[in-house]
Amino acid sequence: MEQIVFGIGITALAGALATVAGSAEDTESNIGSQGDPNSQVQLAPQMGFVHRIFNKAVAGEPPAYGLWCALGAGLAWAFLAMQINAVLAIVLGSLLAVFVQGIYATTAYLGRTASLSKFGQPVYVDILKSMTTVAMAHAFVAIFCTVTICYLINVALGHPFPLPLLGFIWGITLGAAGSATGNPYYGKERQYQNQKFGAGVPISASGNIVRYAEAGERNSLDNGFFTAKFGGPASGLCFGLIVFLELWRTIVFDNISPGIGAIVVGILIILIFTVIDRYIEVWARKNYGPYTAPVKEAAP
Amino acid sequence: MTAVAAKPAAGSAMNPTAMVVGVILLIILLVIAAFVSPGLGLMALIGVIIGGVLIGFGVHFVPVGGAPAAMGQAPGIATGVAMLAAGAGLAGLFGGAWAASQGFAIAIITGGVGGGMMMAITCMMVNFVYVFGMGIPAASGKVAKDPITGDTQPEYKSQGTEGHGLPFVSFVGGVTGGILGGAGGTLIYLELLSLYQATLPNVMNASSAQVLPIAVSVAGTFAIGMFLVNAVLTAYNITGTIEGPHDPKFKRWPRAIVASAVASALCGLVAILIVTI
């Protein structure tokens, strides 16, 4: 019983850390403009819309976070092997991984933006100076939380995978959850704030991203400020639920009925989320209604 | 013929010659495995191939909209095919590896359920953001009616887009893809783990307990690597985006099955050779 309570405590802590990690990951990717919405940041100057948005999407979020979290976890593992205190080892590992992220962000911004010079897009050094550090700070939070989750899973819950492998797996999952949930909010709701609310961006508007703020030109910090209110927490909720429920079903129900318990509860969780998803879909159809009148089927 | 004049339907056409070449390559690789390591190695390779095929087939179910989905211009999840499939499959592999000591079937089902759970949560959150964050209902661009619920789709598409969000059939496809991917990844891991547990003590001249961490690490790394190989191969087959099992691109799956089988066989052979030569 004591072991189950301990496991539930670790699970709750891991879930909370994952929520913070997901939120920080999405905000970092929006400030750095990584992920699919960055296609518009890259496209805008080619359509004649020069902007001051950061631009660092060389890889998608999942592989990028897979790399950074695996690096952080691998280095933390090495420090642990050198008998360094666990908290310090995780902080140092995450810190070194963040430097790699910073190099990646700097070279990506310079390279990608310089490639747009023929369309008149300048490389803004002040943007590089002010945004890179903010993106790095958010990345540190995301990497630190993820590596800590991996450490807890490995040491406290006894998962067989070594720390770097866990870092890679949960880094990829973090990026997948964060980009899937957070990308539409940044891509549609923020970049195309000038388009109608409650409708997708018409394909003809591609590249015409919003470039001006309340005062002066909009930059990526404004985007991070905006998406941190909804896209970030939603991504955090998504990754937090994934980590928490995956650990919870194993820790609690494997002790009640080894093997079968976790499977049955997992299937039940899938069914519950299916019902919630269907409810949301039907709710939207009823409350928002169709855009055009339904096409009547021809009488037989 | 110029590129402009070429018919765009080439992407969905099956190439019988390539399929036959693929099958021949597969047989050659199996024969090499049978020659190098009959018994355990060959069985492991067959397991790896089945796992790879499960992953390749499963990725076709995952609704991925890529960049257009991030602007609400196309339905699906706003990220890359390979990345999302890898996220789901690796979450499944995590659960499957944890349950490895509880038996083969239990571990594979646990892995499948883990992948399905990850996709169910992610797909639900995608619709949550679309509906409550952006005020956009789900609509498919490929079918007039949802094949599962019968909901009509065209009138819920906003002007100038191909649809948006995840209609119910795409949600079900995502969960199915996660289940297949998680189960396939776990199967590869278990096959390689049993091979390494049996062979590494002799190769490294150490006890079973001493080689266990190495066996787990190497099998896990190979399983992740093969997952990515199969996910990326399938991403090429899909050419970017797919809505799910109702998308016409889904019919391309036989081509990906052959490609996944050959790629998994080649990677699996390398994984076997490191302990048998």
Q: Do residues A272 and A163 both lie within one domain?
A: no
As a whole number of Å, the CA-based R_g of chain A is: 22
- To test the contact with chain B by mutation, choose from A161, A286, A288, A297 the residue with the greatest count of B C-beta atoms within 10 A, namely A161
What pLDDT was estimated at residue B10?
46
Q: Do residues A269 and A139 both lie within one domain?
A: no
Average pLDDT score over chain B:
87
Burial per residue of B149-169, b for 16 or more beta-carbon CB atoms within 10 angstroms, e otherwise: eebbbbbbbbeebbbbbbbbb
Q: Which domain holds residue B71?
A: 46-128+173-276
Mean pLDDT of B97-119: 90
Tally of domains in chain B: 1
Round to whole Å and give the CA distance between B48 and B128: 37
Q: Which residue has the tokens 């996910």?
A: B231
Round to whole Å and give the CA distance between B93 and B178: 11
In a domain, B22, yes or no: no
In a domain, A211, yes or no: yes
Q: What is the pLDDT of residues B39-94, one digit of tens each?
A: 888 899 999 999 999 999 999 999 988 888 888 888 988 887 777 777 787 888 88
Q: Do residues A130 and A270 both lie within one domain?
A: no
Q: Do residues A264 and A132 both lie within one domain?
A: no
What pLDDT was estimated at residue B1?
45
In a domain, B17, yes or no: no
Give me the numbers of helices (H) and strands (E) for chain B, helices first please: 9, 0
Contact check, Cβ <8 Å, B110/A291: no
Q: What is the pLDDT of residues B114-124, one digit of tens each?
A: 999 999 999 99
Q: Which domain holds residue A272?
A: 257-287
Burial (Cβ within 10 Å: 0-12, 13-18, ≥19) of residue B132: middle
Q: Do residues A142 and A13 both lie within one domain?
A: yes
Q: What is the pLDDT of residues B156-165, one digit of tens each?
A: 998 888 889 8
Q: Do residues A271 and A207 both lie within one domain?
A: no
Q: Give the residue among B216, B240, B264, B243 at the shortest CA–CA distance from B26.
A: B264
Q: Do residues A158 and A252 both lie within one domain?
A: yes
User: Do residues B259 and B237 lie in contact, with contact meaning Cβ atoms separated by under 8 Å?
Assistant: yes
Contact check, Cβ <8 Å, A231/B133: yes
Percent of chain A with pLDDT over 90: 69
Q: Do residues A9 and A117 both lie within one domain?
A: yes
Q: Do residues A205 and A71 both lie within one domain?
A: yes
Torsion of CA A292, A293, A297, A298, to 10 degrees: -110
In a domain, A292, yes or no: no
ipTM of the predicted assembly exceeds 0.90: yes
Q: What is the pLDDT of residues A28-43, one digit of tens each?
A: 999 999 888 888 999 9
Q: Do residues A162 and A202 both lie within one domain?
A: yes
Tally of domains in chain A: 2
3-state secondary structure of A185: helix
Nearest chain B residue to A186 by CA: give it.
B70
User: Do residues B275 and B200 lie in contact, with contact meaning Cβ atoms separated by under 8 Å?
Assistant: yes
Contacts of B156 in chain A (CB under 8 A): 285, 290-291
Those residues with Cβ within 8 angstroms of residue B64's Cβ, 6 or more apart along the chain or in another chain: B76, B77, B79, B80, B81, B84, B238, B241, B242
Mean pLDDT of A105-117: 92
B98 confidence band (pLDDT: 50, 70, 90): confident
